Structure formats: structure tokens, C-alpha cells
A and B are shown apart, each in its own frame.
Chain A
Amino acid sequence: SQQGEEDPQALSIQEGENATMNCSYKTSINNLQWYRQNSGRGLVHLILIRSNEREKHSGRLRVTLDTSKKSSSLLITASRAADTASYFCATDSPPSVLQGAQKLVFGQGTRLTINP
């Protein structure tokens, strides 16, 4: 089952512009995470936001979370060619029945292309 849905599915912008990707989910969550995947590679963790947080920053990344709307957004400022990748949101929902593992549910991703 897929809980998160990213929007848009694909985004193409010029280098230096800001990129915004959105994620919507269906059930209440413990936390929401964003990951990046370069073509043909594994995923790299970008940022984690807990359900009681509204905004987090990490370098050029800003993530917001609106639990009332069941949505999150990822903003990449001053984009660079190296930001070209697919971006996935992943949610961890209660009840967290796992004592030692975290069952994340991933969305289908947003393919971001930065044009030089």
C-alpha cells in the first residue's frame, strides 16, 4: 500500500530557481521523511520531521508539515544541476508495532530536472 503521493510527478526548472515538491498522505503519522535518489542509485536521507513539528531546515532544504491537511512540502532553494534526482516522501504511521524496525511507506516520487 502506498500512503504518500508526491506532486508534481515531474518538475523541470532552470538552475538557480527554487523547486517545491508536495507530498500528501492518508492516515495519521509519527513522522515524515524525505529521501533523494539519483538515477540507478540507492536512496539518501535528506530530512526527518516529526508529527509535532511544523517546519525544519537543512542547508538549502526546507520542509513543512501540515498534519491537519495531511501534507508536506520540500523546498530546495537556489537549485543546482547536482540536485537533479527523484525525491520521495516516506511516512511512518502509528501504531508503531515494531520494536526495533521502522516500517516506512514511500510515495511514487517527484522527478526533478535542473537545467543549466
Chain B
Amino acid sequence: DGGITQSPKYLFRKEGQNVTLSCEQNLNHDAMYWYRQDPGQGLRLIYYSQIVNDFQKGDIAEGYSVSREKKESFPLTVTSAQKNPTAFYLCASSIYGGNWSPYEQFFGPGTRLTVL
């Protein structure tokens, strides 16, 4: 049963704490992405990774960190430097379709993070 899993589904954090959100895929996709979604809003790109051991900042990377040690895994750490971390976090992956070849992104079910 292929797909993307995210855990936990709900996460509560106290101010000043770092938390790590898990994202795993068994689709054999090269590229992985992290997005943030605020209520009633679209998705904003936090970080993306094209290949193992490589990742790039997206539009709102401040206060977040990632790693890509394995092809299947792309965890996101929300650090205490992120001033407003309460949001819905979505992980996605896609194949590498070659230069200029468009392809869809597959999304996980999301993690809802609440800062207490």
C-alpha cells in the first residue's frame, strides 16, 4: 500500500520547545516538500529536497530545519525561533520527471501543530 505518512496527526508544543514532524514515503520519489497551511489559506513552501543529502529553503524557511538522510524520510523540525508555529503542516513528494517535465505532487494527511 504505497503512499505518504505523517505523524503525529496532532501535536501540542509549549513555547520554547523544538518539535519534529515525521514524513515517510514508500513511493520511491526523489523529491519531497514541506508546506505550511494557515486557516482559510493556501499552502506556503517551507523546504524542499530534490535528492538525498540535499535540501533548499522555500518561501518561509525561518524558524524551521530539515534533514534528508534517507530517500524515504524528510523530517521537519519546528524550532523555538519560529514565532507563530500553530498551523497545519503538509508533506508531499513527487517523481523526478526530467527537465521541464511536469508532474503531480502526492500529499500526506498532515500534522496539526498547536502551541500552548
**Interface residues of A, Cβ cutoff 8 Å to B:** 1-2, 4, 30-31, 33, 35, 40-45, 48, 50, 88, 90, 92, 96, 98-109
Q: Given A43-B90, A45-B105, A103–B48 Cβ distance below 8 Å?
A: yes
Residues of A within 8 A of B90 (CB): 42-43
Query: A101-B30, A101-B96, A102-B105 provided; 14 other pairs, C-beta below 8 A?
Result: A35-B107, A41-B110, A42-B92, A42-B109, A43-B43, A43-B90, A43-B92, A48-B103, A48-B104, A50-B102, A88-B43, A100-B30, A101-B31, A106-B35
Residues of A within 8 A of B110 (CB): 40-42
In the complex, how many angstroms separate the beta carbon of B87 from the nearest chain A beta carbon?
13
Contact A101 B33 (CB under 8 A): yes
Query: From A43, which residue of chain B is reached at the shortest CB distance?
Result: B107
Contact A102 B102 (CB under 8 A): yes
Contact A99 B42 (CB under 8 A): no
Contact A41 B109 (CB under 8 A): yes
In the complex, how many angstroms separate the beta carbon of A58 from the nearest chain B beta carbon?
12
- B1 within 8 Å of A by Cβ? no
Give 16 pairs: A residue, B residue, CB < 8 Å, sorted on A: A1-B59, A33-B102, A41-B109, A42-B109, A43-B43, A43-B107, A45-B106, A48-B102, A50-B102, A99-B50, A101-B33, A101-B50, A102-B105, A103-B45, A105-B45, A108-B40
Query: From A5, which residue of chain B is reached at the shortest CB distance?
Result: B42
* A interface SS class: loop
**Interface residues of B, Cβ cutoff 8 Å to A:** 4, 30-31, 33, 35, 40-45, 48-51, 56, 58-59, 88, 90, 92, 94, 96, 99-100, 102-110, 112
Residues of A within 8 A of B31 (CB): 100-102
Contact A101 B49 (CB under 8 A): yes
Partner of A98, one of B44, B50, B88: B50
The distance in angstroms between the C-alpha atoms of A95 and B115, with both chains bound, is: 37
Residues of A within 8 A of B100 (CB): 30, 96
